[in-house]
Amino acid sequence: MKLNGKIVLVTGASSGIGAATALAFAAEGARLLLAARRASKLAEVASRTLERGAASVHSIDLDVRHHHAVQTAIDDLPPEWAEIDVLINNAGLSRGLEKLYTGKTEDWDEMIDTNVKGLLYVSRAVIPGMVVRGRGHIVNLGSTAGDLPYPNGAVYCGSKAAVHAINDGLRQDLLGTPVRVTSVDPGTVETDFSLVRFRGDAGRAAKVYQGLTPLSAEDVADAIVWAVSRPDHVNIARITLTSVHQANSLLFHRES
Ligand code: NDP
Ligand code: 8X3
């Protein structure tokens, strides 16, 4: 797929991997539909995408957890933005790092509502149009955490295992259409992810990346753009990437 002029919807575009992905597609001359809850952060990313070469940009204030809001936001897009070519289901988060049997049910709800149900709601709103138009590509952000759960992370890891199952099921449901489905599964990436997980505890968040070189958001964006830019008949089912300091979701090499 040539990316110049394609409409790319990125959820969770206000930060981290989503923002880097928007910028990477901008450099290819794509048209960017940016979605997230923090409008001021989205506005910053929007202006950077234009500097980077985006053909145009349109931002949507969107909480993916609300089914009707998601459907309405997609249904109400201006006609010139309605024909989405690429959907990057990136919005997601983790809350807490705690044994399941002492975990907070409100944290579970937030993770499952965002990472699983939010991804489903956006997919349900966008994919029918792709099928009708006979073109499209969905990229879902999974994680190495979805392959191998780590202690105190059962619910987050479970939400990412669900993304893998949904990704593989969706690819089967779309068989016979030209619409492609890819899961991009990074290991540890230095973003606001840990700050959000630990509710703003910067010291605790920094320890996650201490003594190792993590992936950058740009590394992940690069993999996403690569998958989407393969020839139309090639479906990259899944990309797993980690830094050389990580073997899987449990095993890290730290210099100090
Ligand atoms: P960040 O915290 O930097 O970004 C998360 C993004 O998700 C933000 O833009 C946030 O926007 C958005 N978001 C969260 N909740 C909602 C919601 N309810 N509705 C809409 N948008 C929402 O983290 P990352 O960039 O690291 O995370 C992006 C994705 O990558 C997530 O799915 C994460 O699970 C996955 N991932 C991250 C890894 C890592 O180590 N960082 C590794 C593997 C996968 P806003 O708050 O403005 O709504
Ligand atoms: C997010 C990264 O380190 O929690 O999927 O596995 S990690």
* H or E segment to which residue 117 belongs: none
Predicted pLDDT at 2: 87
Instruction: Point out the ligand 1 atom lying closest to the alpha carbon of residue 19.
Output: 9
In terms of Cβ atoms closer than 10 Å to its own Cβ (0-12, 13-18, 19+), residue 177 is middle
Q: Enter the DSSP assignment of 246.
A: B
Q: How far is the CA of 177 from the centre of ligand 2 (A)?
A: 32
Give the chain's residues under pLDDT 70. Answer: 1
Q: How far is the CA of 171 from the centre of ligand 2 (A)?
A: 24
Predicted pLDDT at 107: 98
SS3 at position 160: helix
Amino acid at 53: G
Q: Is the CB of 198 under 6 A from ligand 1?
A: no
Residue among 17, 167, 212, 252 to mutate when testing ligand 1 (max atoms within 8 A of CB)? 17
Residue among 15, 140, 249 to mutate when testing ligand 1 (max atoms within 8 A of CB)? 15
Q: How far is the CA of 103 from the centre of ligand 2 (A)?
A: 18
Predicted pLDDT at 1: 61
Q: Is the CB of 59 under 6 A from ligand 1?
A: no
- The closest residue, in CA terms, to atom 6 on ligand 2 is 145
Task: Please give the CATH superfamily to which domain 69-241 belongs.
Answer: NAD(P)-binding Rossmann-like Domain (3.40.50.720)
**For residue 35, how far is the Cα from the chain centroid?**
11
3-state helix, strand, coil in the chain (%, to 5): 45, 15, 40
Closest CA to 97 of 32, 193, 17: 193
d(CA 68, CA 59): 18
> Hey, where are the domains in the chain?
69-241
246 token code pair: 């990580």
Q: How far is CA 88 from CA 11, 151, 160, 182, 228, in A?
A: 6, 28, 15, 10, 10
Ligand number with the minimum distance to the CA of 142: 1
* Residues 66, 38 contacting (CB under 8 angstroms): no
Q: How far is CA 5 from CA 60, 119, 123, 154, in A?
A: 19, 24, 21, 41
Parallel, antiparallel, or unpaired for β 7-11 and 86-89? Answer: parallel
pTM, two decimals, is 0.98
> Does 156 participate in catalysis according to the annotation?
yes
Q: How far is the CA of 18 from the centre of ligand 1 (A)?
A: 7
Marked catalytic residue, from 101, 121, 150, 156: 156
Query: Which residues have CB under 6 Å of ligand 2?
Result: 143-145, 188, 193, 249
